Amino acid sequence: MATEREETGRSQGRERSDDRHNKQRVFWRTILLMGLFGALAFVPLVGRLYQLQIVQHEELQERAADQQTRDLTVSADRGTIYDNEGNILAMSATVQNLILSPKDLNAAIEENNKRLAAGKEANPNLNQAFVAQGLSQITGVDAGKIIERMGKTNSQYEVLCRKMENDMSEQVRAFIAANKLGNGVYLEPDSKRYYPYASLASHVIGFTGADNQGLYGAEYIYDDALSGVAGRVITAKNGAGTEMLSKYENYIDAQDGRDHHLTINATIQGFAEKALKEGIEKYDVQNGGFCIVMDPDTGGILAMASAPDYDLNAPFEVFDPQEALRLEEMEADPAVDEDTYKGELGKAQLNQWRNRCVNDTYEPGSTFKSIVVAAALEEGVVSLDSQFYCNGSKKVADRVIHCAERSGHGAENLADAVRNSCNPAFIEIGQKLGAEKFYDYMEDFGLLSYTDIDLNGENKGVVWDRDFFESEIGISSLATASFGQTFRITPIQLITAASAVVNGGHLMVPHILDYTTDSEGNVVDTYPVTEIRQVISEETSQTVCQLLEQVVGAKKGTGRNAYQAGYRIGGKTGTSEKTGANENEDDYIVSFLGMAPANDPQVVILLAYDTPKPSYPGSSWTAGGTYISGGNMGAPMAGPLLKQILDYLGVDKQYSAEELSGADSTTPNLVGYKEATAASECKRLGFTYRKIGDGEKVTGQIPVAGAVIPGGSELLLYMGEEKPTDPARVPDLSGLTPDETRQALAQADLYMRGSGSAQYFTSATLCASQSIPAGTEVERGTVVDVTFVENVTDYRPDA
Amino acid sequence: MAKKRFRDKTYRQQLAGGPVDLPFLMLVLLLTAIGVITVFSASFGSAYYENGDPSRYFRSQLILAVGGVIVMFLVSRVDYQYLRRFARVALIASIVLLLLVKVPGIGVTHQGANRWIRLPGFQFQPSEIAKVGVILFFAAKLAARQPEKKRKWDPRTRKGRVLNFLERIGFLELLPYMVILLLMAGLLLIEPHMSGAILILAGGAAVLFAGGIHWGWFVVGGGALASGLWFIMTHTDYMARRLSTWRDPWSDAQNAGWQTIQSLYAIGSGGLLGKGFGRSMQKFLYLPEEHNDFIFSIWCEEMGFIGALVVIALFVLLILRGYWLALHARDKFGALLIVGITTLTAVQVFLNIGVVTNLIPPTGISLPFFSYGGTALIIQLGEMGIILSVSRQIEAPRLG
C-alpha cells in the first residue's frame, strides 16, 4: 500500500514537496508495521496459548502433576478368611522386603572412603563385598547376586529379598544400623499370607502370589473383595525430588479388604481329609481321590478335599514325594535343559493345585442310580411296588450288559433293585423313563450346566447331545446312563444333584462363601442361598431317602459297610469304570454317595478313590485283600466319616427298636487266649471288646462265658489285671435318653437291652422303667432291660 | 502548539517541555509493575533453594525497576533532537563495546558465550546498547534522506554506468546500512548471541523500512535470510538437532527437551484461570530460567489463559500506542526512533512468547519488563524514555 502511494506520488510530478512525499511514505509504512507487529504477530501466540491452556490443559496438567507429586500407595490389609466357626484359614501379617539402592549405597561407601582417607572416624570394613556378605549371611541370598545388583549404579530400587519375617528383618535392621548404610539398604513393609491349617482345605482356600494377588480358590475368586482398595498419600515434591511438606498433601484412606467367612468347617474338613488319606493308604489308591461334604438344604460346602494336596504356605513346592524326587533329579541332571525342567515342575504344581471336585469330570457309576430312581419315581413310571427280574445280564441293541451279580438277582422290587444296585433293573427303569424324560432330568438336575460354585476353573459334564441321546442309536447310551456310565460329570455336579434328590427336590447353587464382614465385624455381604429349581417333589425325595437308607441299613444292602447304629445313614455306592481317553479300562473310581440322617438329611457326602491298585493287573482285589468296589472301599470309609460329622454337628442319634434291643448273643469263653485270638472270636460273634491291663493273655472276662447279652455289646477282657469280684450297683436310669442309659450302665459294667413303642429312639425318648430297681447289687455283666417312651409334648393353654 | 508559559525558554525548549503521552506512560508503568511482581512469584523457588532468601531476586529487581523508571523519566526530559548529533558516537561506542566482550578481564564468559561486560558493581550486555545505537544512527541518517536527489556519475564510463545503476535501484544508499547491520550481527553471532543478532536485524530493518528504503530490498533481504536459515537448519547437525527437539521435545525429555517440556507443563496446567498468584508448582526447580526467559510460563501457570491474554493485550496496546506516537511524531527522526524501538520491543515479545510456548525453535530471549535481569530493564525503560521524549513534541490536537 505504501508503495502504491509512492507510485502515485511520483506520477503526480514533483510539484509536491519532497518532505510531504517522504512523510507520507513513513506514515504508510509505519501503519504497515503497526498492523504486522501490533496485531498480526500476536494472533499465532494467542492461538498457541489457547491450544496449550484450554485444549491441552487436562493432558499437560496431568503430566505436570505426575512429576510434581509423590504418590505413595498405602496398602490395604487383605481380608482374613475364616471357616464357619470363626477359625482363621488365611490371614495376612506384616513382613519386610529388603531393598537395595545401589546409587545411595555407593555414595555412602564413597563418603566413607573419603573419611577414611582424611583420617576421620569411619568404618574400615565398608565396601560392596562386605555389605553383600553380611546381607547374604542373614538372608541366604547369594552374595555374588547381591554384588551384581550393586552394579546397577543408577538404580535406587532393587529388591534383594522378599517377605522376610520378623527375626530376619530385625537382623537386617541391626546390620544396617551398625554399618550406617543409610538409604543404601533399607526395609520396605509388605504383607505375607499365612495359612494356619497348612494343607487343610488347600484347594478351596487357594493361595496368593508374590504381590498378594489371589491365584487359586477363594483367594482368587474373591480377590477383589479380599484385597480392598489401596490408599494413597500424595505429597508435592520439587524439581530436585525433595518433598515439600508445606505444600499440599492429600490422603486417601486405604480400604481394608473384607473378611470372608466360608461355609467350610475346619473340623469337618479335617475329618474328610483324614478319611480320604486313610482310604488312599489302606486301599493303595494310585490317583488320589476327593471328598465333598455338603449341607443339602443350602448348598453350602462344609468340606471339600482333593488328593493330592499341598501346603498353602509353600504352594510352589511339590508335595508328592516321588514327584519331588524325580524333579530334584531332573534339576541336578545337566542333560535336562531348564525349560524341560520348568515345564515338568509346572505340571506337578498344577496337578497338586487341581481341585478335582470342580476341575475334573468322571463317570459317576452307580451313585448316579439315586438320581435315576428319583426321576423315575417322580414321573410315576415306577413305584415301590414295581417288580423287576434280573438274570445277570440284559441285552440292549445287540449289546449284552452284565449285572455286577453275574448270577442275577432274580425277582426284585424297586427297593431291592436299589439296594442291589442292579444294572438290568435300572436299564429297565431308564427305558421306562424314556430318553427324552431321562435327558430332561439330567438337565433339570444341573448335569448339563455349570453349578456356578464360587471356585475357579469349574468344569461341566461331558454328555451326549439331546438329538443323539433320543435317537435310535442312542438307545445303548440310555441303557448305560441308567447306571451312571459313558458320560462324565464333575463331583460337584453329582453331589449338588444328589442334594436335590434328598432335600425335598430343591436344586441349590453350591457355594463356599457364607458371608463377608468389614474390619469392624459388620456383615457386608451374605452369599445368597439360591434355589435354581425344584426338580422332584418332597414326597419323591422322601421315598428316595428311604430307599437309600435301605442300601446301607439292610442286611444285604450294597452300602451296608457304611452302616453306623444310631445315625440312619443312607447312600449309594459306585464303582465306575474309567473309560475316558488316556484312561486305563481296568482302573476304577470307587465311591460312596451318602447322606444322613435319612429322615431329614443334614449332610450329603461324596467320597471317592481313584484307582485302587489291584494285586495284579486285571485283578478285582487289592494286595490287602479288599474287593475293589465302592461298597467295599467307599462305604466303610464314608460310614465313620458321616458318624464323626453328625456327632460334631450335634445331630440327634436315632436308634431303631432293633438297634436298641439287638439280637442277643451268647458270650464265648476267652480266658486263656491270646489277644489276637480273642479279638477275632469277638469279631466273629459281633462283639466289641475293651482291654484292661497289658498282659499277653486274657485272665478274666465280664460277663462270664455263656451269658446272653445284646449283640454288639462290649466285652471287658482283663489281661493280667485283677478282675473285680464285687457286685455292681444298678444306677437309676429314669429320665435318661437311650444313649445316656447305655453309658450309665456301661460305667457300672452292666448291659442294656432297650425296648419301647417308638420306631426310632432319639433324645426325645426317655427311660420309663428298668427291670432291676436302682440300687440293687448284681453281678457285673448283668443285662438290665429298659423300657423307653417318647416324650410327648402337650400344648396347654396358658393358665 | 504548546503554550508559551516560560518566557525565558526557546521554542525548542518549549517543544521539549510538552506533556508526555500519558497512555503510553501508564502502559509502561503497568507492565513494569506486573513484571516486578511476577519476578517475585517466579523467582521464589530458586531464590529459596539457592540462598534461603525467597525475596532476593525480587528486591534486586524492584530496585532496578525504580532506577529504570527514574532513568526513563530523565531520558524523557532530554530533547531527542540532541540525539541526532549523538547518533554517530553511539554507533561507534556500540561497536567498540561489542568488541570489548571478547577482551579478557572486561568481557565475561558465561556458558561458553561472551555477552557481558563487567564494570565495577554491575555487568551488562553491550547488545542492549547496540540495539539502541543502531536504531539511533539509522533514524538520524534516514531522517536526513533526500531520495529524489540522486547522485550522478559519468554515464560514459563503465564504472559510472554501473554506479548510476546501483544508485538508481537504491543499492548505494543501502550499502552503509547493510555494512553496519552485518557487522553488528556478525559480532553478535561470534559472541555467540543469536537472539541479539535477530533483534538488531529486526530493529534496523524496521527503521530502514519505515525510512523509505525501496521495499524490494526487504524482499531480497528476507529471501536471503530465509535461505540462509534454511541452509543452517538443514545442513548443520547442531541446528538439525535443535529443530528435532523443537518439533518433539519429548524425544529428548531429560536433556534438550527438558526446558521446553517444563514450560509447556507450566503453561498447560494454568488452564483458563490459572492456579492463582504464587501457586505455581513448576517454579520449584522444574522450569529452568523461570524468572528470566521463561517467566511468562510461570505467569501463565498462575494466572491462566485470561492472565496471559491480559499481559498480551497490554503489550499490544503498548506497541500500537508506540506506532501511533510514531505516526504523530513531530518529525521523521522522532517517528523512525519510535518505530525502531517499538518494533524491537514487539519482536522481543513475540519471540519470547513464541519460544516459551514452543511455537518457534528455542532461543534465549527475555521478555521486556518481565524478565529478571540486571541492566536490561534499565535500558528497556531508557528506550521507553526516548519514546516519551518524542511524545512530548507532538502537537496537541487543536481544540474546537
- Reported as a pLDDT band with limits 50, 70 and 90, residue A448 is very high
B272 contacts A54? CB cut-off 8 A: yes
Q: Which of B27, B357, B365, B394 to mutate to test the interface with A (most CBs of A within 10 A)?
A: B357
At B256 the pLDDT is 82
Whether A12 has its CB under 8 Å from any CB of chain B: the answer is no
Q: Give the integer Cα–Cα distance in Å for A82 and B271.
A: 52
Alpha-helical (H) ranges within chain B are 11-16, 22-51, 56-77, 81-100, 126-143, 158-168, 171-189, 194-211, 215-235, 237-247, 258-270, 295-328, 332-356, 374-392
For B210, the closest of A29, A60, A67 (CB atoms) is A29
Contacts of A671-675 with CB under 8 Å at 24 or more apart are A671/A698, A671/A699, A671/A700, A671/A701, A671/A705, A672/A697, A672/A698, A673/A697, A673/A698, A674/A698, A675/A717, A675/A719
ipTM for the complex shown: 0.93
Shortest Cα–Cα distance, A41 to chain B (Å): 7
A239 contacts B286? CB cut-off 8 A: yes
Other CB atoms closer than 10 Å to residue A119's CB: what's the count? 7
Cα–Cα separations (whole angstroms), residue A626 to A404, A620, A631, B48, B217 = 16, 8, 10, 89, 116
Contacts of A770-775 with CB under 8 Å at 24 or more apart are A770/A730, A770/A733, A770/A734, A772/A730, A773/A730, A774/A730, A774/A731, A774/A732, A774/A733, A774/A734, A775/A729, A775/A730, A775/A732
Helix (H) / strand (E) element for A592: namely strand A588-596
> Is the pLDDT at B231 greater than 60, yes or no?
yes
Shortest Cα–Cα distance, B103 to chain A (Å): 37
Shortest Cα–Cα distance, A340 to chain B (Å): 43
- Reported as a pLDDT band with limits 50, 70 and 90, residue A293 is very high
Residues A32-37 have a mean pLDDT of 92
B52: left (phi over 0), alpha (psi -120 to 50) or beta: left
* Cβ-Cβ contacts under 8 Å, A33 against chain B: 206, 209-210, 323, 339, 342-343
The per-residue pLDDT for range B66-96, each reduced to its tens digit, is: 999 999 999 999 999 999 988 999 999 999 9
Domain A655-790 indexed as CATH 3.30.10.20: yes
Query: What is the phi/psi pair of residue B3, to 5°?
Result: -70, 145
Beta strand pairing call for A231-236 and A249-252:
antiparallel
CATH number of this structure's domain A358-649: 3.40.710.10
Whether A250 has its CB under 8 Å from any CB of chain B: the answer is no
Shortest Cα–Cα distance, A60 to chain B (Å): 5
Nearest chain A residue to B211, by CA: A26
Whether A759 has its CB under 8 Å from any CB of chain B: the answer is no
For B305, the closest of A37, A53, A238 (CB atoms) is A53
Across the A/B interface, how many CB contacts are shorter than 8 Å? 148
Instruction: From A754, A751, A749, A757, select the one nearest A738 (Cα to Cα).
Output: A754
Predicted TM-score of the model (pTM): 0.63
At A169 the pLDDT is 87
* Cβ-Cβ contacts under 8 Å, B322 against chain A: 38
**Higher-pLDDT residue of A17, B331:** B331
Shortest Cα–Cα distance, A1 to chain B (Å): 11
Instruction: From A582, A738, A721, select the one nearest A662 (Cα to Cα).
Output: A738
Nearest chain B residue to A237, by CA: B284
Spatial strand order in the sheet of B107-110? B107-110, B113-119, B122-124
For A321, the grid coordinates are 514325594
Q: Which residue has the cell 493287573?
A: A617
B315 contacts A54? CB cut-off 8 A: no
Shortest Cα–Cα distance, B316 to chain A (Å): 5
The per-residue pLDDT for range A654-686, each reduced to its tens digit, is: 877 777 666 677 888 888 888 888 888 887 777
Mean pLDDT of chain B: 88
At A472 the pLDDT is 84
Rg (CA), chain A: 40
Q: Give the integer Cα–Cα distance in Å for A656 and A97.
A: 63
> Is the pLDDT at A449 greater than 90, yes or no?
yes
> Is the pLDDT at A797 greater than 60, yes or no?
no
Q: Give the integer Cα–Cα distance in Å for B400 and B398.
A: 6
Q: Which of B273, B284, B298 to mutate to test the interface with A (most CBs of A within 10 A)?
A: B284
Mean pLDDT of chain A: 86
Shortest Cα–Cα distance, B255 to chain A (Å): 14
Whether A41 has its CB under 8 Å from any CB of chain B: the answer is yes
At A700 the pLDDT is 86
Which sequence spans correspond to the domains of chain A?
2-50, 74-262, 358-649, 655-790
- Reported as a pLDDT band with limits 50, 70 and 90, residue A692 is confident
The per-residue pLDDT for range A318-368, each reduced to its tens digit, is: 988 888 899 888 888 888 888 888 998 999 999 899 999 999 999 999 999
At A9 the pLDDT is 44
A68 contacts B300? CB cut-off 8 A: no
Nearest chain B residue to A54, by CA: B271
Q: Give the integer Cα–Cα distance in Å for B212 and B214.
A: 6
* Cβ-Cβ contacts under 8 Å, A34 against chain B: 319-320, 323-324, 327
The per-residue pLDDT for range B19-30, each reduced to its tens digit, is: 899 999 999 999
Secondary structure E strands in A101-256: 158-164, 185-194, 231-236, 249-252
For A38, the closest of B145, B206, B320 (CB atoms) is B320
> Is the pLDDT at B385 greater than 90, yes or no?
yes
Shortest Cα–Cα distance, A251 to chain B (Å): 19
Using an 8 Å Cβ cutoff, are A389 and A436 in contact?
Answer: no
For A38, the closest of B210, B300, B323 (CB atoms) is B323
**Higher-pLDDT residue of A126, A49:** A49
Whether A39 has its CB under 8 Å from any CB of chain B: the answer is yes
Using an 8 Å Cβ cutoff, are A459 and A447 in contact?
Answer: no
Q: Which of B173, B267, B285 to mutate to test the interface with A (most CBs of A within 10 A)?
A: B267
Cα–Cα separations (whole angstroms), residue B98 to A1, A595, B337 = 38, 106, 22
- Reported as a pLDDT band with limits 50, 70 and 90, residue A19 is low
Instruction: Tell me, rounded to whole angstroms, the distance of Cα A672 from its chain centroid.
Output: 51
Q: Which positions ≥6 away from A326 have C-beta within 8 Å? A: A344
The per-residue pLDDT for range A231-275, each reduced to its tens digit, is: 877 778 877 777 775 666 677 788 889 999 999 999 999 999 999
CATH class of A74-262: alpha beta
Nearest chain A residue to B305, by CA: A53
